[in-house]
Amino acid sequence: MAQRVTYREALRQAHHEALERDPRVFLMGEDVGAYGGAYAVSKGLLEEFGPDRVRDTPLSELAFVGAGIGAALGGMRPIVEIMTVNFSLLALDQIVNTAALYRHMSGGQFSVPLVIRMTTGAGRQLAAQHSHSFEGWYAHIPGLTILAPATVADARGMLWPALRDPDPVIIFEHAMLLNMEGDLDEDTAVDIRSARTMRAGTHVTLLTYGGSLFKTLEAADTLAADGIEAQVIDLRVLRPLDVDTILASVRRTRRVVVVDEGWRTGALAGELIARIAEEAFYDLDAPPARVCTEEVPIPYAKHLEEAALPQAGKIVAAVRALLGPA
C-alpha cells in the first residue's frame, strides 16, 4: 500500500534502511548527527544507530571526503553528506582527482564504493554562493556516476543501489524538492542506469532532470491544453546518460527541448543536444532548443531569481517557437 511522504522523509527512510541492512554503512558530514542534518534528512538516526554510524565532522569538506574515500578503500560503505553543492568545490581534489581515478590508476585493483550526497539548485533566495547547479560539471568526469532524483520514489530508492556500486556515486538533491509530497510504494527498487518517461507525447520531447522536472511537467500540461502533446523524460542519471531512451523519444517526436538549471554556456544541455545531433540529426524536423539559467550569478531578490531560472512559461515559449505558427 502506497504511503504519502515528503521528498525529505523519503531520503530519511533510505538512510534508515541502508544503516539497518548493512553494518558497513555509516553517514558522515557536517551537522548530520546531533542537529539531525541541515535539511533534517538524518533526524533521529544518531539516537538509533549511535555516533559510530552517524558521525558529525569538522567543517572541512576536503578532510571528511578524503576520510570517506579511505573508509571505502578499507571495506566500509560510507555516505558522505556535503551540505550544499558550492561547498563541494572545497573537496574537488578528493572527488575528481582521487575517488574517480582509483580504479583506473590501480589497474582495477582498488575501487571506491563511496556515496556523496549534496543539496543543489536555486529558488530559495540564498543568493549566488548557495544557489549553484554543478551537476553538469561532475557529469563531465569519468569514474563517477551522477544521480539526480527528482521524485519521492527516486529519493527513496536510489541510495541503496548507489551503495552497492563499487565505484563512487554522487547524488544531487534539489533543495526545492525537499517539501514536495508523493506516493511511495512498498517496492522502492530503482534502476540507477536508466532515464524514465514521465509523460507520453508525440509532438516534442522535453528532456530534464532534478528541480526542473515539475516545471517541465507543468509546461507540458499547458501545452496539452492547446493540443500539443509533449513527451517528458526525466534523465535521473546524468552519467552515464541513457542515450537509447533519449534517442528513441526524439526519433518519435522529431523535436526536442532540453531544460537544464545549469548556465547555458558549457551546460549538460549542450552535451545532450550534441549527442542528438550526432546520432539523430536526420530524424529532426527542427533544430534542438534549450532552456537554461540566465548567464548571471543567481540574484538574491525573489523576482530576479525567478526571472533567471528556467520556468514553465519559458519552456512553453521554447516549444511554441520550435513548432512554429499553428
> Cα separation of 61 and 57, whole Å?
9
Claim to verify: residue 212 and residue 135 sit in the same structural domain: no
Q: Which of 184, 210, 230 is the last residue of a domain?
A: 184
Q: Are residues 169 and 230 in the same domain?
A: no
CATH number of residue 68's parent domain: 3.40.50.970
| Residue 190 counted as domain residue | no
- Rounded Cα gap, residues 137 and 119, in angstroms: 15
Statement to judge: residues 200 and 178 lie in one domain:
no
Share above pLDDT 90 across residues of the chain, in percent, rounded to a whole number: 96
Domain boundary among 151, 184, 217: 184
15 is catalytic: no
User: Is 224 found in the same domain as 154?
Assistant: no
Whether residue 73 sits in one domain with residue 22: yes
pLDDT at 284 over 80: yes
- Apex 36 CA angle, 32 and 41, nearest 5: 85
Annotate 28-86 with DSSP letters as a single string: EETTSSTT--TTSTTTTHHHHH-TTTEEE--S-HHHHHHHHHHHHHTT-EEEEEEEEGG
Q: How confident is the model at residue 326 (pLDDT cuts 50, 70, 90)?
A: low
Are 285 and 254 a contacting pair, CB within 8 Å? yes
Tell me what the mean pLDDT of segment 263-286 comes to: 97
Regarding whether 44 and 162 lie in a shared domain, the answer is yes
189 inside domain: no
Instruction: Show the cell assigned to 145.
Output: 556516476
pTM of the entire structure?
Answer: 0.96
**How confident is the model over 221-236, as pLDDT tens digits?**
999 999 999 999 999 9
pLDDT of 126 above 80: yes
pLDDT at residue 185, as a whole number: 84
- Catalytic residue selected from 9, 30, 61, 173: 61
Classify residue 31 as left (phi > 0), alpha (psi -120 to 50) or beta.
left
CATH of the domain at 268: 3.40.50.920
The mean pLDDT of 277-299, rounded to a whole number, is 97
232 with 314, same domain: the answer is: yes
Asked if residue 114 lies in contact with residue 80, where contact means CB atoms within 8 angstroms, the answer is yes
Chain mean pLDDT for the chain: 96
Question: What is the rounded average pLDDT of the residues 247-256?
Answer: 98
Note the pLDDT tens digit of each residue in 167-215: 999 999 999 999 999 999 877 789 999 999 999 999 999 999 999 999 9
% pLDDT > 70, the chain: 99
| Number of neighbouring beta carbons within 10 Å of residue 301 | 11
Whether residue 20 lies in the annotated active site: no
Quote the radius of gyration of the chain (alpha carbons, Å): 20
Same domain, 220 and 175: no
Whether residue 155 is predicted with pLDDT greater than 90 in this model: the reply is yes
Maximal CA-CA distance, the chain: 63
The active-site residue, picked from 9, 30, 81, 130, is 130
The pLDDT, as a whole number, for residue 188 is: 76
For residues 23 and 52, membership in a common domain is answered with yes
Give the H/E segment covering residue 103.
helix 102-105
Residue partners of 74: CB distance under 8 A and separation at least 6: none
Q: What is the mean pLDDT of residues 39-54?
A: 97
Q: Residues 218, 173: one domain?
A: no
What is the span of the domain harbouring residue 282? 196-323
Domain count, the chain: 2
Report the alpha-carbon distance of residue 158 to residue 188 in Å, rounded: 8
CA angle 189–178–298, rounded 5-degree value? 125
95 shares a domain with 9: yes
| Mean per-residue pLDDT, 303-326 | 94
Kindly state whether residues 177 and 70 are assigned to the same domain.
yes
Strand 256-263 relative to strand 289-293: parallel, antiparallel, unpaired? parallel
Among 162, 184, 206, give the residue marking a domain's end: 184
